[in-house]
Structure 1
Amino acid sequence: MAELKLSLRDTKIREIQQSVEIIIENKMKAMQQGILSAMDNKMQAMLEKLEKKLENSVEVQNGLASKFQDLQESLSSLKNFTKPIPPKFEQIGERYFYIEHKSKQNWFAAANTCRQMGGHLASGRNEKEVRLIMKKLHVNGDYWLGVNNLANQGDFVNLGSGISIYFDEIIPNFRCLSLSIRDWHTKDCYDNKHFICQADEI
């Protein structure tokens, strides 16, 4: 009888131990999951902060690049205008131009006239500048620019700087470039047209 009681007691103890072990194991799992969840939340928060910092860094870099480009253009303009602006030239954008609306000359004569005035036949530095010049042109006018491919057909060169300019939308049927209020075109260099001069070389 005593042995039966001891056996029942041992069984009860084992059951209690097993229950305690299960409870402890579950508690440990819950703690591990809680720790992992907390770590995951912290990592996620850190990643979000890093992403925001990276975004801000990219925005700052873009802003600095834009400001640097503006400063370069301003510096370039200052370098170009250490000499006085020739008479009759007007500021269009950041540079100075003279637009001849009345008389017409062939490309070579127009280039010579611009030099006599203290400038060169014009060449737009960028699309924004070209658009500003276009606004000043007469509706039916066609104006010589300082760009040609006289040396090598298809290789357009800036008359003032000697730098090659690539035009993917122009078919080089002729050797000299002209500008209207709508677009630019290649024309016979001996055609008589209005012309545009610029005060600097570039």
Structure 2
Amino acid sequence: MFELAALVLFVLIAGYPCGALASSSKKESPGSQNKELETRCNPYCFWTIEPIMDHYQALKDEITAQKELQGFERIGSDLYYIEHVKTLNWTDASEACRKMSARITDIKDEKDYRAVLTRLGERKYWTDITKRGEEKEYTSASTGRKAPFIKWFTGETDNKSNTHCLAINGRQDGRMWDDDCSFDHYYICKRVKNVEK
């Protein structure tokens, strides 16, 4: 940590005489900042500061990536966030996952199911499997296709309402329950690439 502080101090001191600290009202990309610095500095100044700026940007990017993954754990080949404290309805749980650049989890197969199940407490956790309105089969909310895997708890497919969302029930050997989507349960997020925040 001391090395990072020393590096930042050096950039600030070295950059000040060259105009590196000149403020700009518009946000600029790192490349345009380098061009501005190159025109304001003499060649030696720019040659000295550019590698430091590149290293500093790489450190910032690494810290940002680590913050985004905080709370996620690798289970199998995927990254999961399992919420054990706060309960939400299905829609809000899905939104909470999206804000973490993740999706409410899908369950692909028995292996995927067993791997996640080992991390759950004795509570209900939302999955992305739903049957809404007049749909006749359960689908994955993330793909829109028929759910590839469901492990039903006995008698759980006969709810009368038009909104059905599936939750894994950790108390009942992890079997899946068909619940009203407005009920509050814990939830599981799965990290996926290219999810808009």
Q: Aligning the two structures, in what range does the TM-score lie when normalised by the shorter sequence?
A: 0.5 to 0.7
Question: Please, which of 172, 175, 179 is the counterpart of residue 168 of structure 2?
Answer: 179
Q: Which amino acid aligns with 2:117?
A: M
Q: Which amino acid aligns with 1:186?
A: D
Identity %: 24
SS in 2 for 1:196: strand
Alignment CA distance shift 1:168-1:103 (3 Å): closer
Cα drift, residue 172 of structure 1? 4.7
CA contact (8 A) 1:106 1:191 kept: yes
Whether 2:115 is the aligned partner of 1:132: answer yes
Cα drift, residue 129 of structure 1? 1.1
In the aligned structure 1, how far is the partner of 2:134 from the partner of 2:146? 11
Question: Please, which of 100, 118, 138 is the counterpart of residue 101 of structure 2?
Answer: 118
Partner of 1:7: none
Unaligned runs of 5+ in 1: 1-83
In the aligned structure 1, how far is the partner of 2:192 from the partner of 2:137? 22
Alignment CA distance shift 1:172-1:160 (3 Å): farther
Partner of 1:190: 182
In the aligned structure 1, how far is the partner of 2:120 from the partner of 2:151? 24
In the aligned structure 2, how far is the partner of 1:138 from the partner of 1:168? 17
SS in 2 for 1:176: strand
Cα drift, residue 168 of structure 1? 8.0
Within-5 A mapping of 1:82-161 = 86-87=68-69, 88-139=71-122, 141-161=123-143
CA contact (8 A) 2:151 2:176 kept: no
Alignment CA distance shift 1:98-1:156 (3 Å): same
How many corresponding residue pairs?
A: 117
Alignment CA distance shift 1:95-1:187 (3 Å): same
Partner of 2:7: none
Cα drift, residue 152 of structure 1? 3.5
SS in 2 for 1:132: helix
Structure 1 length-normalised TM: 0.53
Unaligned runs of 5+ in 2: 1-64
SS in 1 for 2:80: strand
Q: Cα RMSD (Å) of the superposition?
A: 2.1
CA contact (8 A) 1:120 1:159 kept: no
Cα drift, residue 151 of structure 1? 4.6
SS in 2 for 1:149: strand
Alignment CA distance shift 1:110-1:89 (3 Å): same
In the aligned structure 2, how far is the partner of 1:199 from the partner of 1:172? 32
Moved >4 Å (runs of 4+): 166-170
Alignment CA distance shift 1:96-1:152 (3 Å): farther
Structure 2 length-normalised TM: 0.54
